[in-house]
Amino acid sequence: FEKLRTKILSTKTICNLIHMPYLGKGGTSLGINFGTEMSIIRNVNIMEYRGTYDRISYYETNEEGIPYSFPVENKYYRIVSQSNYDYIQGMPVAYWLPESAFDLCAKEKVFEDFAKTRAGMITGNNDMFVRAWFEVNSTSVGLRMRSREEAMASRKKWFPYNKGGDFRKWYGNNQFVVNWENDGYVMRNYKDKTGKIPAHAFNLEYIFKENVTWNALTSYKYSARYTDYGFLYDASGSFADVKSEYLDYTLGFLCSCVTQYFLEAFNPTLNFQKGNIASLPFIICEKKKPHIIALTKESVKLSREDWDSFEISWDFKKHPLLPCSNKVDESTFTRGFRLEDCFDDWKAECQKRFYKMKENEEELNRIFIDIYGLKDELLPDVIDRDITVRKADLDRDIRSLISYAIGCMFGRYSLDNPGLIYAGVQWDSSKYQSFIPDQDNCIPITDEEYFQDDIVGRFVEFVRTAYGTDYLEENLDFIAKALGNKGNTSREVIRNYFLNDFFKDHCQTYSVTGSGKRPIYWLFDSGKQNGFKALVYMHRWNADTVGNVRVEYLHKMQTVYEHEIESCQDAIEHGNGHEIAAATRRKEKLVKQLKECRDYDALVAHIALSRIDIDLDDGVKVNYRKVQTGTDGKFCEILANSKDIMAKEK
């Protein structure tokens, strides 16, 4: 309503205003409730008129949000000269700002005097040009390019793309890549159905530079981060092109409570535009600049360490719960490692990082509060929720360890080498020595132990290899206790986790803000009876994958059920009362599972005959539908959660 505010403030006079923010219930679908405002406006503009402003707080209302008295007699929150609003871009009626804050807006230089704020580009078709980085072939991704020329010379197709993301400060939210092959030739010439070229606002002179970025739209608070070399920017990932000498100082300021304070006045919504950042009063204090830079650099380092600790980062090296070789003596390798000890080490590391970050942020707040003279308005304290490096969480971290183990089973990771090993590149068996990946890209998940090399057997082998034999059972018990699933033994608990929860967790881990689930391990699933489940790795998919799953695993599973049913029938015919009852119940379950497998086999057979291969560049959503659609166009749902994952049919 900028035009309305401008008209009122330039032609009329606000004499009195009473604001009742966030009273009672209700609000928009986003949870926003600006409350109610009542004002007396004189139909003439009186220069330098000082209006009275009152705010009724929650403690002045009853349980239903109704004020005890209205208006509150002889009480004014602020007395403000209307001309003060002229000093703020967009002329918000930010009556709560003190006179000193208006003076800063009037007298100091603004952020735009030191940095060029820009909104990122619009691709015209994100479904076509944007992917999560972990979807595509890793060899086609170009990281940390420093110029358009270097990017073109690399002959890479996908490059890091900043799209904002969740509330996170200092570093992170690096999830996307964009098709900028041949300097974005295809995107820049792409035409929609009307024949128009919708892609625009490329800001080519700024791409691939290290910069500061922030979320344009957020569900909580504004947050700023450092962006390394090599990024392009989306419209929702606005950025500031800052001279290198001011970059760390700028980021420290943008992550401070002073910036949050002014932004809440400039823009009370959750959609922060580049103009809001550009109009911030910006003071460079040369005396305190070295200290600010040092705190900022350390905060970025801490945030980067946290982000890179989990596999959602393209700089992930190894899981943090794996034994750390430089902390143990030679005898420990002989005995093995207790996973609980590894978790305790990780917990201590996280806690140290968390409280160091909190200390840094509060010190930066103190510095900028002092620079801006806002000691009477702001406190330097930072609540734990606003510290965006993670504390250790046993449940989450054990589940992420299991996810890493699955990656090792498929060859995505290796216990012998750090980082991403296989994601569509040429297979190199020399990368795997201590723990050998599955040979045919299929790991069955069964509700009972029918095969030694099913997913539970392989996971036990992983734990034995990573932590040693001596503490194997203790480590499995520790994992089972953390998972909290049903089961009489640790292996049963782990089996039930794989059967019921792993794929849901995987979809949650490999999901991207605003774009949904992008799993890279795909689950063959026959249905509610758990007759047949098996995981495959998307990056190892080929035209024979479905046929191999059907012949080597689904058919074998049916044979197992047939033999087990015969054993149950034998027990029914020759057992005693208790044995007969147990065998009868188990037979009933097996019969249902066998029927489900046979019905499922018909669907799998139809797809297997089509021998469907995939193109990793198409991404998860397109390929998930593609591999379940026969050459005749018939869709056969053979993979789990299809409706939630695959692209909508066009």
User: What is 253-271 written as a DSSP string?
Assistant: HHTSHHHHHHHHHH--SSB
Q: Which helix (H) or strand (E) holds 558?
A: helix 555-574
Query: Are residues 414 and 432 in contact, defined by beta-carbon separation less than 8 angstroms?
Result: yes
What was the pLDDT predicted at 276? 83
Q: How far from chain centre, in Å, is Cα 366?
A: 30
Q: Which helix (H) or strand (E) holds 40?
A: strand 36-42
d(CA 78, CA 88): 18
Q: Which helix (H) or strand (E) holds 363?
A: helix 339-372
* Cα distances (Å, whole numbers) of residue 225 to 246, 296, 303, 313: 14, 10, 10, 15
**173 C-beta neighbours (distance < 10 Å), count:** 22
Q: Which of 226, 237, 210, 240 is closest to 172 using CA atoms?
A: 226
Tell me if residue 524 falls in helix, strand or coil.
strand
Q: How far from chain centre, in Å, is Cα 524?
A: 25
The whole model's pTM is what?
A: 0.91
Half-sphere exposure of 96 (CA within 13 A, CB side): 17
d(CA 161, CA 174): 8
Could you report the average pLDDT of every consecutive run of 10 residues in the chain (650 residues)? 91 91 52 73 93 79 74 78 89 90 91 90 93 96 96 96 91 96 94 92 90 79 93 89 93 96 80 80 96 98 97 97 64 75 97 98 98 95 96 97 98 97 93 96 95 93 96 97 94 97 96 89 97 98 97 96 95 88 94 97 96 96 96 95 82
d(CA 229, CA 247): 13
Pairing of strands 533-537, 521-525: antiparallel
What was the pLDDT predicted at 270? 63
Query: Are residues 504 and 402 in contact, defined by beta-carbon separation less than 8 angstroms?
Result: no
* Cα distances (Å, whole numbers) of residue 245 to 241, 249, 290, 293, 298: 12, 8, 11, 10, 16
Rounded to 5°, the CA angle 130-136-139 comes to: 120
d(CA 106, CA 135): 49
Query: Are residues 572 and 580 in contact, defined by beta-carbon separation less than 8 angstroms?
Result: yes
Tell me if residue 505 falls in helix, strand or coil.
helix
d(CA 588, CA 95): 72
